[in-house]
Structure 1
Amino acid sequence: MDLPRKFTIRESSHRIHNPFTSEKLAALGQALHLAPGTRALDLASGSGEMLCTWAHTHRITGTGVDISTEFTARARARAAELGVADQVDFVHGDASGYVADEPVDLAACIGATWIGDGITGTIDLLRQSLRPGGMLLIGEPYWRRDPPDQNCVEACHARTEEDYRSLPDLLERFGELGYDVVEMMLADQDSWDRYRAAQWLNIRRWLDRNPDDELAPELRAELSREPASYARYEREYLGWGVFALLGR
Structure 2
Amino acid sequence: MDRQEIGRIAHRDHPVAAPLSDASVHRLLERQLRRCPDGRLLDLGCGEAAWPVRALAMHPGLRAVGVDSNPAALEDGRRSAERAGVTHRIALHHCDVREFTTPEPFDAVLSVGAAYAFDGLLPTLKAARPLLAPGGTLLLGESYWDGRPPDHAREFFGDDLTDLPGVLAAIAAAGWWPIAGHTSTREELDAYEWSWTGSLTDWALDQPPGPDRDQALDAAARHRDQWLHEYRDGFGFVTLLLRPEG
Would you call these one fold, judging by a TM-score over 0.5?
A: yes
Corresponding residue of 1:48: 49
Deviation at residue 211 of structure 1 after TM alignment: 5.2
The 8 Å contact of residues 36 and 107 in structure 2, kept in 1 or not, is answered as: no
Instruction: Please give the root-mean-square deviation of Cα atoms over the aligned residues, in Å.
Output: 2.1
In structure 2, give the amino acid aligned to 1:243: L
Corresponding residue of 2:218: 221
The 8 Å contact of residues 48 and 77 in structure 2, kept in 1 or not, is answered as: yes
1:87 to 2:92 alignment: no
Q: Deviations over 1:49-90 (max 9, x none)?
A: 211111111332110011112211121122222222222221
Q: What are the residue-to-residue correspondences of 1:15-54 with 2, within 5 Å?
A: 15-32=15-32, 33-54=34-55
State percent identity of aligned pairs: 24
1:182 to 2:179 alignment: yes
The 8 Å contact of residues 150 and 230 in structure 2, kept in 1 or not, is answered as: no
Structure 2 residue aligned with 1:96, among 85, 93, 98? 98
Paired residues, number: 242
**Which range is displaced more, 29-38 or 164-173?**
29-38
In 2, Cα distance between the equivalents of 1:235 and 1:38? 38
In 2, Cα distance between the equivalents of 1:225 and 1:77? 30
Structure 2 residue aligned with 1:128, among 127, 130, 133? 130
- Change over 3 Å in CA distance of 1:80–1:222 after alignment to 2: closer
In structure 1, give the amino acid aligned to 2:99: G
Helix, strand or coil for the counterpart of 1:184? strand
The 8 Å contact of residues 3 and 68 in structure 1, kept in 2 or not, is answered as: no
Q: What are the residue-to-residue correspondences of 1:61-76 with 2, within 5 Å?
A: 61-76=63-78
In 1, Cα distance between the equivalents of 2:190 and 2:54? 22
- The gaps in structure 2 that reach 5 residues or longer are none
Q: TM-score of the superposition, structure 1-length normalised?
A: 0.88
Deviation at residue 23 of structure 1 after TM alignment: 1.2
Q: TM-score of the superposition, structure 2-length normalised?
A: 0.89
Helix, strand or coil for the counterpart of 1:231? helix
Corresponding residue of 1:9: 9
**Which range is displaced more, 119-128 or 227-236?**
227-236
